Amino acid sequence: MSVLIFIELDNGSIKKTSLETVAYGAKVAAQVNGKAVVLAIGDASSAELEKAGHYGAEKVLHAAGEKLAHENSLAYADVLVQASAQEQSQIIVLPKSGLGDAIAARAAARLKAGVVSGVTALPETEGTFKVTRSIFTGKAFATTEIKSEIKFLVVRKNAIEIDEAGLNTAGATIEPFSPALRDADFQANVVDVEKASGELSLTEAEIIVSGGRGMKGPEHWQALLDLASALGAATGCSKPVSDLDWRPHHEHIGQTGIKVAPNLYIACGISGAIQHLAGVNGSKCIVVINKDPEAPFFKSADYGVVGDVFEILPRLTAAAKAIR
């Protein structure tokens, strides 16, 4: 019996959220006396993949090669099905992301398995198998029983605490994995990939500085970018801001945008509409800067400053630089 853990690679590195997924999967494996096996698809060095061992994995199956270098959920799901057969995996763990969900969906349909997506805590594995997930975009939780023999868990960021000091010293052993690939999974032709290079990804970021309509226009964004760079933060925005093209669509956070769960979320000139809150309620600490003391966001914040963003932001940037 094993727990198979899918990890996402970004330019040859294991994504931070995926290291959390490894730690989660390893804990589940310990609970059920199984082996924690990681599946990495795409290019990465052995030294990088060994890191999975620090987070509790015994072994990493590595499927590489030209055809698998680019993210392809159809082919990756097929590779995962083959890996789960080889490892006799009963529990399959993936990170909550577009790719994680897409692979889980296709692989679970093939293996006739139940999927719980948006998992927020370790499962109960004695007796019936139960796990808690986030529902209604963070407004509630559901404890869900999985009845199928094979179980898929798609795990949210911050589902478990990682004790960085208590990591294993041993690396994982790396085993090359050479699945058979199906032509049908490569039928689509990727014409172009546009990726903001060197930009910190919102889903990976520990700190996010985000701006709303209160920022008044794209020409005022520099003050926000300065604070973000002083804090090593990624930048986000509210929906109207991306609708107005002040910022690119992939920065849009909320119900209809990206859901984020950083340690620190700083909202500048965002009113805190329920649809925006839905995307940030997984954050550990929320700071709100708004000139309106009645702005609803203050009700969901840990720290608040009532004031003009244009006056406050440069001062915070200076203070942040002073401590770095």
Does the footprint of another protein cover residue 302 (CB under 8 A)? yes
Tokens standing for 313? Answer: 């932001």
Q: Give the Å distances, CA to CA, from 84 to 13, 69, 87.
A: 23, 20, 5
Say which entry of ligand FAD, another protein, none residue 186 contacts (CB below 5 to 8 A, set by partner kind).
none
Per-residue contact string for residues 235-274; x = within reach of ligand FAD by CB under 6 A = ---xxxx------------xxxx-----------xxx-x-
Q: Identify the CA nearest to 176 among candidates 96, 303, 110, 83.
A: 83
CA atoms within 13 A on the CB side of 148: 17
Q: How far is the CB of 267 from ligand FAD (least distance, A)?
A: 8
Considering the complex, what minimum distance in angstroms separates the CB of residue 185 from another protein? 8
Nearest distance from C-beta of residue 236 to ligand FAD, angstroms: 9
- Please state, in angstroms and rounded to a whole number, the distance separating the CA atoms of residues 262 and 221: 21
Which range binds another protein by CB under 8 A, 24-32, 94-102, 157-165, 212-220?
A: 94-102
Q: How far is the CB of 198 from another protein (least distance, A)?
A: 10
> Is 203 one of the binding residues for ligand FAD (CB under 6 A)?
no
Burial call 199-213: b when 16+ CB within 10 Å, e when fewer = ebbbbbbebbbbbbb
Question: Does 319 contact another protein by CB under 8 A?
Answer: yes
Locate tokens 């919102």: which residue? 202
Report the distance separating Cα 13 and Cα 132, nearest Å: 29
User: Which is closer to ligand FAD, CB of 144 or CB of 281?
Assistant: 281
Min separation Cβ 308 and ligand FAD, Å: 4
Position 190 contacts another protein (CB under 8 A): yes
Residue 291 makes contact with ligand FAD by CB under 6 A: yes
Q: Fill in the per-residue mask, 135 to 164: x = in contact with another protein (CB under 8 A), - = not in contact.
A: xxxxxxxxxxxxxx-----x----------
Instruction: State the nearest-atom distance from the C-beta of 134 to ligand FAD, in Å.
Output: 16
Name the burial class of residue 319, with classes exposed (0-12), middle (13-18) and buried (19+) by CB atoms within 10 angstroms of its CB. Answer: exposed
Rg of the Cα atoms in the chain: 21
- Report how far residue 142's alpha carbon sits from residue 112's, in angstroms, rounded to the nearest whole number: 22
Nearer to ligand FAD by Cβ, of 162 and 306: the residue is: 306
Residue 180, CA atoms < 13 Å, CB-side half-sphere: 4
Residue numbers at the binding site for ligand FAD (CB under 6 A): 212-214, 238-241, 254-257, 269-271, 273, 275-276, 279, 290-292, 295, 308-310
